[in-house]
Chain A
Amino acid sequence: DTEVTQTPKHLVMGMTNKKSLKCEQHMGHRAMYWYKQKAKKPPELMFVYSYEKLSINESVPSRFSPECPNSSLLNLHLHALQPEDSALYLCASSRGVQSNEKLFFGSGTQLSVL
């Protein structure tokens, strides 16, 4: 199994809603990532988890709250988002954070904030 599975594939939410994005991998990877990608732009790193501990937060607003319940799961909790937060949210994983580790990306959640 070399897949990173993200759910849901699409999400539409209002600015007052609370929702969560989910990411799962069963490759035994110990590093997991959240990226945000706007249309026609490259992905931007949001968070890095290493061994279930948050190691990097790229100055992401607190309306995005990551959670890593175990080594296979990564969640992104969303609350009080803005329309400009609409984007493709990508989860990725790697065996570790060492130099030549390949990143495996999920297919993403396309988020629209109304």
Chain B
Amino acid sequence: KNQVEQSPQSLIILEGKNCTLQCNYTVSPFSNLRWYKQDTGRGPVSLTIMTFSENTKSNGRYTATLDADTKQSSLHITASQLSDSASYICVVRVRGGYNKLIFGAGTRLAVHP
């Protein structure tokens, strides 16, 4: 069964600190892995898309890693800001057919001053 699991479910950190969010997946056949940021009541916004051959991809203070052998990904946030408070969703695309995406349940991050 295609599944995407994220940990932790929720996380509280202080402004300026770093954090790392985890994503494990059992999706086959694999096409790519995406990280989205979703503010409460808003649509998800794409942060990164990584294919099988990519190990690391950065977008500003966000750095995603992918280990296709162990089927794990992480999202590292550097020097957190209050505006980073949101849900971070790991999404894996199934290869072939239409744009079928398997969504994780998300990690809810709260950055406190």
Contact = CB atoms under 8 A, between A and B. Distances in A.
Is B a genuine binding partner of A?
A: yes
Interface of A: 4, 6, 31, 33, 40-45, 48, 50, 55-56, 88, 90-92, 94, 97-108, 110
A77 B36 CA distance: 28
Task: Determine chain A's interface SS by DSSP, over half rule.
Answer: strand
A42 B43 contact: no
A91 B32 CA distance: 21
Contacts of A103: 44, 46, 99, 101
Interface residues of B, number: 25
A107 B42 contact: yes
B54 to A, nearest CB: 11
A48 B99 CA distance: 9
B34 to A, nearest CB: 8
A99 B31 contact: yes
A92 B43 contact: yes
